[in-house]
Structure 1
Amino acid sequence: MFRFGEPLYLYLLLVLPFLVAFYLYSNYRRRKKLRQYGDPVLMAHLMPAVSKYRPDVKFWLMWSALAMIIFMLARPQFGSKMETVKRQGVETVVALDISNSMLAQDVTPSRLEKSKKLISRLVETFNNDKVAMIVFAGEAFAQLPITSDYISAKMFLESISPSLIATQGTDIRGAIDLAMKSFTPNEGVGRAIVLITDGENHEGGAVEAAKAAAEKGVRVFVLGVGSPDGSPIPVEGTNEFRRDKDGNVVVTRLNEEMCREIAQAGNGMYVRVDNTNNAEKALNAEINKLAKADVETQVFTEFDEQFQVLAWLALLLLAAELMILNRKNPLFKNVKLFK
């Protein structure tokens, strides 16, 4: 595993674009002043020792050396040893509805995009916890096995879209059943299923599945995304809306009654997701109430410093910058490396 021991130093990289801009502006001012003295071609003949390209080469060498030094200060490291450690945490399986109805835009920017942002912020609050991710429509499959790798969890979010599942529909029961199989066998760990859907359940058994999960100590929280008033479903890549076989625009509505029934059966809580952060706050508060137990996690415990390579590169770049003169060296007048 790669990491930076002092990542705050990476903010110094923001200085580099300003250095480039300052250098380019200085060159512009210098050329402008030279033109005030006379014709540039004539001036070049009057100053035969002046190199056109050497100052640029020296600048970029110095600029690259500075970049290497900044990365060196951030202490790049590679993990060299993995150990199993125990930490206090909970296990959460997020089941995300990716049926076509989640493309509706009654929640900004859409039901699906709002849900993905909510999951991303939820993962950011985890500390020593484990998370798994399931996506479902007409069927369900595991997008991410249960893990403490929050970076991977957020990366997987980016690729989620309704095109991942060819079978359309909303099989909530299948999602809950698969979520139950995703937990680790550890005893005494607080467990939760976070079901994010618009509640348009086209299959049966969702309430029964939530009740069975609650009987095993797993709480089922339901986040209802959308509006009870409904919204048309956009066709991706077009300005059209989905229509039924009779040519009428299909309107999808949030089924809050179904969502409440599932949450009640699962000994959880139902929260409606709107354009505020209220749902996120309510969910975080409930998950924090879950019993925390020892969770085994594979982590890197030893890291080898890799700054030496960057230090040598910076040293070589600085040496090259010092060896290149601003003016042409008469000893090498026949060498055409720089004009």
Structure 2
Amino acid sequence: MFRFGEPLYLYLLIVVPILAAFYFYSNYRRRKRLKEYGDMELLKQLMPEVSKYRPDVKFWLMLAAMVMVIFMLAQPQFGSKMETVKRQGIETVVALDISNSMLAQDVAPSRLEKSKKLISRLVETFNNDKVALIVFAGEAFTQLPITSDYVSAKMFLETISPSLISTQGTDIRAAINLAMKSFTPNDGVGRAIVLITDGENHEGGAIEAAQEAAKKGIHVFVLGVGSPDGSPIPVEGSNEFRRDKDGNVVVTRLNEEMCREIARAGNGMYVRVDNTNNAERALNAEVNKLAKADVETQVFTEFDEQFRVLAWLALILLAVEIMILNRRNPLFKNVKLFKQN
């Protein structure tokens, strides 16, 4: 396994294209000024020792050496020893409703964005736990299989939008059924399905699916996002709202009764998500009550530092750069490695 011990130093690589752009611009200005002095062919004859390519080679050698140093600071490492360790944890499958109604803005900034932030903060509280991510609308599919890689979980959250599923609607039953299949076969581990939706179940069968999950020892927690008073659904990329076939603005309302029934059938808890953090605290408290079992995970426990190779490369590049002069060296006038102007 390869990793960087200090990956924050990699942000310094942003400087590389900036320096390259500045160098190209400086060369352009220099050539432009030379043309103002007179005919370029005459200037070449007056400066026979000036090399066209040597300054470029020196610059790129220096830039390459700087890149090596940045990678060296980031501490590249290769895993050299893998061990199977046991950790105490639970398994949580988050099923997120991404139907168009989740674009409603009765919860700021929108139902969907509020839900994504809530999931992100939930993942941050995990320690030795496993998480999976399912998205659903008219159908459901796995966005992230169950994993302990919390960085990937948060990364996948950023890409979620209603456009991921072309079939619109809200099939909560399909989401719960898929979630039940997403857990590992480990015995004794606490399992939870966190269903985040506005409760507008268009397909039916959600309560039966939650009851089936409860029979398997899986708790179904439901987070209802939105307002019972309702809100229009914005059309992405415009200031318009979605309308029905008669031209009336579509209003979507949080179906709290449906959410409560699903949570009750799934031996879980219903929490309404508003513009506060109350839902997050209540969910964390309930999830932490689940039984934590020993979960075997293979991890790298030893890493070998690889910065020495990069240090030698940087040193060689700098040595070569120092030995190359901007002008031709009279001692090597018969050696033509670079073309002269």
Q: Which TM-score band (shorter chain)? A: 0.7 to 0.9
Q: C-alpha offsets along residues 212-240 of structure 1, whole Å, 9 cap, x if unaligned?
A: 43343322221122222222223334443
Equivalent residues of 2:48, 2:340 under 8 A apart: no
* Partner SS for 2:88: strand
Alpha-carbon distance in structure 2 between the residues aligned to 1:62 and 1:192: 54
Task: Indicate whether 1:181 and 2:157 are aligned.
Answer: no
Q: C-alpha offsets along residues 17-58 of structure 1, whole Å, 9 cap, x if unaligned?
A: 89889999999xx9xxxxxxxxxxxx9999886778756654
Alpha-carbon distance in structure 2 between the residues aligned to 1:334 and 1:142: 62
What is the TM-score normalised by the length of structure 2? 0.80
The alpha-carbon deviation at position 104 of structure 1 amounts to: 1.9
Name whichever of 5-14 and 304-313 sits farther off. 5-14
What is the TM-score normalised by the length of structure 1? 0.80
Percent of matched pairs sharing the same residue: 85
Q: Aligned residues, how many?
A: 338
Counterpart code for 1:77: Q
Equivalent residues of 2:104, 2:232 under 8 A apart: yes
The alpha-carbon deviation at position 94 of structure 1 amounts to: 0.3
Q: Structure 1 residues 8, 238: closer, same or farther in 2, change over 3 A?
A: closer
- 1:117 maps to 117
Alpha-carbon distance in structure 1 between the residues aligned to 2:340 and 2:320: 14
* Partner SS for 1:62: helix
- 2:162 maps to 162
Alignment of 1:178-327 (within 5 A): 178-327=178-327
* Partner SS for 2:240: coil
Counterpart code for 2:153: A
Alpha-carbon distance in structure 2 between the residues aligned to 1:115 and 1:313: 47
Equivalent residues of 1:91, 1:192 under 8 A apart: yes
Alpha-carbon distance in structure 2 between the residues aligned to 1:238 and 1:261: 36
Equivalent residues of 2:49, 2:340 under 8 A apart: no
Q: Structure 1 residues 161, 9: closer, same or farther in 2, change over 3 A?
A: closer
Alignment of 1:96-107 (within 5 A): 96-107=96-107
The alpha-carbon deviation at position 105 of structure 1 amounts to: 2.6
The alpha-carbon deviation at position 175 of structure 1 amounts to: 1.5
Task: Indicate whether 1:143 and 2:143 are aligned.
Answer: yes
Equivalent residues of 1:115, 1:225 under 8 A apart: yes
Q: Structure 1 residues 26, 243: closer, same or farther in 2, change over 3 A?
A: closer
- 2:38 maps to none
Alpha-carbon distance in structure 2 between the residues aligned to 1:81 and 1:158: 33
Counterpart code for 1:242: R
Alpha-carbon distance in structure 1 between the residues aligned to 2:271 and 2:45: 78
Equivalent residues of 2:52, 2:339 under 8 A apart: no
- 1:36 maps to none
Instruction: Structure 2: state its 5+ residue gaps.
Output: 31-42
Equivalent residues of 1:139, 1:171 under 8 A apart: yes
Q: C-alpha offsets along residues 67-92 of structure 1, whole Å, 9 cap, x if unaligned?
A: 31231232212345654432111100
Equivalent residues of 1:222, 1:270 under 8 A apart: yes
Q: Structure 1 residues 260, 337: closer, same or farther in 2, change over 3 A?
A: farther
- 1:74 maps to 74
Name whichever of 145-154 and 248-257 sits farther off. 145-154
Q: C-alpha offsets along residues 112-152 of structure 1, whole Å, 9 cap, x if unaligned?
A: 23222322232232221111111111222222221212233
Equivalent residues of 2:133, 2:142 under 8 A apart: yes
Q: C-alpha offsets along residues 246-272 of structure 1, whole Å, 9 cap, x if unaligned?
A: 111111111222222322333323222
Name whichever of 136-145 and 301-310 sits farther off. 301-310
Q: Structure 1 residues 47, 195: closer, same or farther in 2, change over 3 A?
A: same
Counterpart code for 1:234: P
Alpha-carbon distance in structure 2 between the residues aligned to 1:334 and 1:56: 16
Alpha-carbon distance in structure 1 between the residues aligned to 2:340 and 2:46: 18
* Partner SS for 1:188: coil
Instruction: Structure 1: state its 5+ residue gaps.
Output: 31-42
Q: Structure 1 residues 60, 139: closer, same or farther in 2, change over 3 A?
A: same
CA RMSD of aligned residues (A): 3.8
Q: Structure 1 residues 124, 338: closer, same or farther in 2, change over 3 A?
A: farther
